A and B are shown apart, each in its own frame.
Chain A
Amino acid sequence: MSSTTLQHLANGVSLGSLYALVAIGYTMVYGILRMINFAHGDIFMMAAYFAFFGIATFRVPWPFAFIGVILATALLGMLVERSAYRPLRDAPKNSILISAIGVSFLLENLANYLFSGKPKAFPEITFFANTVVIGGVSIQVITFFIPAVTMIILAILLYIINRTKLGMAMRAVSKDYETAMVMGIDINKVIAATFAIGSGLAAMGAIMWGIKYPQVQPMMGVMPGLKCFIAAVIGGIGNIKGAVIGGFILGLGEILLVAKLSSLTGYRDAFAFILLILILIFRPTGILGEKTTEKV
């Protein structure tokens, strides 16, 4: 393997891991509420700002800053659900969709207003900026750190979902909302927890994104948000492992596209959408999704 191929692969895997982290949030919310949380990408963006202010402005040591950011973002996610989605839970589906778009629009405008539209440089953290040399290529620590963190998170998450009471409740709600309610599961708590976890993961994604692509601005969540949703669809929406697989396919695909077909670099962002449309036509349930028929 040539050294540049190695470099591309490393980059693809780390981008894919970032996509996967954010995609999990989409997939979890979709599994339970059957809605695209359009604001998820913007929650990601807010997390990047939180991290920026924590480290650059308030000079909190990075490990503590990270924990603070994750908690704050989880809270933000719960707040969004509580104020903008819960009141509409019994409303027509389009209303929730519009509400989600509204939240997204609001967060973007709020960020633009509060933090100004000018991009901010994400502070450099020496630990992650160090490079290691493998096979003649020097690769930054962060490039390894991202997939490692993603894998650990995935393991913990799968444990929570498959082994804990909360996870069981989540699976029950996503399988059959009404029955779960009748069985006495506290739906509100389960949904709140889902948003907290999803947003927390988005926060981790945002922090690492900031380290790897050190620029923070109000629209930064839009494209990654859309792509991660696409990753979730590719993997099979509602399925956590699927979201991870989708994330990797997208991340690797994008990096390789740019590397191997450099004349198509301008179409990089179109790649994800084309993939989405192909998957929706040929396998609408995604790679790991199950087919369901709407009851009439």
Chain B
Amino acid sequence: MSNVVPILKTQGITMRFGGITAVNNLSIEVNPGEIVALIGPNGAGKTTAFNMITGVYTPTEGRIIYCGKDITGMKPDQITKNGIARTFQNIRLFKKLSVLENILIARHLRLKSDFLSATLRLPQYRMEEKQMREKVDVLINEFGLSKYQHEVASSLPYGVQRRLEIARALATEPSLLLLDEPAAGMNPKETEELTHFIRDIKERYNLTVFLIEHHMELVMEISERIYVLDFGETIAKGTANEIQNNPKVIEAYLGVEEDA
């Protein structure tokens, strides 16, 4: 175990907003090829942790290491270029653009032609655009989005929007995929399907997956390891079994229910 180099490692990252500490001293490790989950009650700081990893926020303290490289303080676009892609808890598609455009945009980061060759449609750009479209076509088919490809994103059914967001993230060619509550708003059957789907794309695209989720069936079924946050503190980590029987975790979740 210890001789595996983790693909992602955070060293005591902390995020403070004015007075509140959203995440405190979080240290996690995700190894290549794993599916790891981050769980915790509402407001525990899970999304904040994702935002730090993807560069949306710069941690107040601590370091983030990706593939042995310190990415703390890098801009989100650089981090994506390095191979971390994500989805958002409150779906952030390009609402007025078509499904096709949404995914094409995610391939822009690999474009080599400059704007002038692109505008003047010089041969190199034409070739790149052609390859871009081919790759996107493959994704669209694999994700069952072909019948929607010319529709605007906001007009899609909710479940399809979630799928599109994952497809879009994959179009950036990541090694590490972060999913923020991918099953939010889904019924048990859809959640079940999503569970298989995540496993499936993980294998097919050779990914490492780090996900936040409230649906425990999903979490327990697919995660190899789980981290639990509560009020920004890491209260537990371990396998599904260990977590399910951890009294601190049970207390944290029950405590929240009492409040609500």
Alpha-carbon separation in the docked complex, A296 to B86 (Å):
13
Q: List 11 A-B contacts (CB under 8 A).
A: A290-B18, A291-B18, A292-B17, A292-B18, A293-B17, A293-B57, A296-B47, A296-B51, A296-B56, A296-B57, A296-B88
Distance of A2 from chain B, by nearest CB (Å): 47
Give 10 nearest A-B pairs by CB, closest first. A296-B56, A296-B51, A293-B17, A293-B57, A290-B18, A296-B88, A296-B47, A292-B18, A291-B18, A296-B57
Which residues of chain A come closer than 8 Å to B56, judged between CB atoms? 296
Residues of A within 8 A of B (CB): 290-293, 296
Main secondary structure of the interface of B (DSSP, over half): loop
Distance of A274 from chain B, by nearest CB (Å): 28
B1-51 contacts to A, CB under 8 A, are 17-18, 47, 51
Which residues of chain A come closer than 8 Å to B47, judged between CB atoms? 296
Alpha-carbon separation in the docked complex, A77 to B51 (Å):
41
Alpha-carbon separation in the docked complex, A290 to B17 (Å):
11
Alpha-carbon separation in the docked complex, A153 to B17 (Å):
34
Chain B interface size range: under 10
Alpha-carbon separation in the docked complex, A172 to B17 (Å):
19
Distance of B53 from chain A, by nearest CB (Å): 12
Which residues of chain A come closer than 8 Å to B18, judged between CB atoms? 290-292
Alpha-carbon separation in the docked complex, A296 to B88 (Å):
8
Which residues of chain A come closer than 8 Å to B57, judged between CB atoms? 293, 296
- The residue of chain B having its C-beta at the shortest distance from the C-beta of A294 within the complex is B56
Distance of A290 from chain B, by nearest CB (Å): 7
Which residues of chain B come closer than 8 Å to A296, judged between CB atoms? 47, 51, 56-57, 88
Which residues of chain B come closer than 8 Å to A292, judged between CB atoms? 17-18
B233-250 contacts to A, CB under 8 A, are none
Alpha-carbon separation in the docked complex, A292 to B88 (Å):
21
Task: Scan B50-86; emit 1 where CB is below 8 A from any A CB, else 0.
Answer: 0100001100000000000000000000000000000
- The residue of chain A having its C-beta at the shortest distance from the C-beta of B56 within the complex is A296
- The residue of chain A having its C-beta at the shortest distance from the C-beta of B180 within the complex is A296
Task: Scan B138-173; emit 1 where CB is below 8 A from any A CB, else 0.
Answer: 000000000000000000000000000000000000
- The residue of chain A having its C-beta at the shortest distance from the C-beta of B76 within the complex is A296
Which residues of chain A come closer than 8 Å to B51, judged between CB atoms? 296
Which residues of chain B come closer than 8 Å to A290, judged between CB atoms? 18
Which residues of chain A come closer than 8 Å to B17, judged between CB atoms? 292-293
Distance of A288 from chain B, by nearest CB (Å): 15
Alpha-carbon separation in the docked complex, A276 to B64 (Å):
36
Which residues of chain B come closer than 8 Å to A291, judged between CB atoms? 18
Given contacts A292-B18, A296-B51, 9 further A-B contacts (CB under 8 A): A290-B18, A291-B18, A292-B17, A293-B17, A293-B57, A296-B47, A296-B56, A296-B57, A296-B88
- The residue of chain B having its C-beta at the shortest distance from the C-beta of A290 within the complex is B18
Distance of B15 from chain A, by nearest CB (Å): 9
Distance of A293 from chain B, by nearest CB (Å): 6
- The residue of chain A having its C-beta at the shortest distance from the C-beta of B50 within the complex is A296
Distance of A175 from chain B, by nearest CB (Å): 12
